[in-house]
Amino acid sequence: MTVEEYFARKKNYRLQYPLMPTVWVGNPQRQGPILLPAELCMIVPGQPVNRKMTEGQTSSMIKYAATSTTVRKDKIMKSSNDTRHNDDLCIRQFSFCIGNEFEQIQARVLAPSVWEYDKRTVMPSKGVWRQENVKFFKGAEIKS
């Protein structure tokens, strides 16, 4: 019996899109699959999607993510406050608390290193430098 026939006979429902693929739901270990017509399924907002994005989706995602650090921080803080983690029973039982501010640390900006090539030296600017048609002056092993 087809899915279309099943819904017509057992549920007295005529599918509007009988040629659309079905959605396999339930436990994959089960003897027979549970197949539902896609037209009867609803995706709950916020569900993850495990497939490659299209070029347009990738472009939109990059544009959305390419924000200033201030805007990104504000979005993170809003998202954190909206989720109300500290109201979660499990978190409270462990006496765990998520702060309302970013952690403050002491830091400094290191001076850029100078790159020495066969016939010239280069000092990176903002973490970027050109390396076309150059040979390294002397190969070396870097130990950390």
Tokens matching residue 85: 């983690």
Hey, what amino acid is at 104?
Answer: Q
pLDDT band at 16 (very low <50, low <70, confident <90, very high): very high
Mean pLDDT across 51-61: 90
> pLDDT tens across 93-139, in order?
888 888 888 889 999 988 888 887 777 788 888 778 777 777 776 77
Angle at 34 between CA 30 and CA 40, to 5 degrees: 155
- Cβ-proximal residues to 54 (8 Å cutoff; 6+ apart), any chain: none
For residue 4, how many other CB atoms are within 10 A of its CB?
A: 16
pLDDT band at 33 (very low <50, low <70, confident <90, very high): confident
Mean pLDDT across 11-32: 88
Q: What is the pLDDT, as a whole number, of residue 137?
A: 67
Q: What is the pLDDT, as a whole number, of residue 34?
A: 87
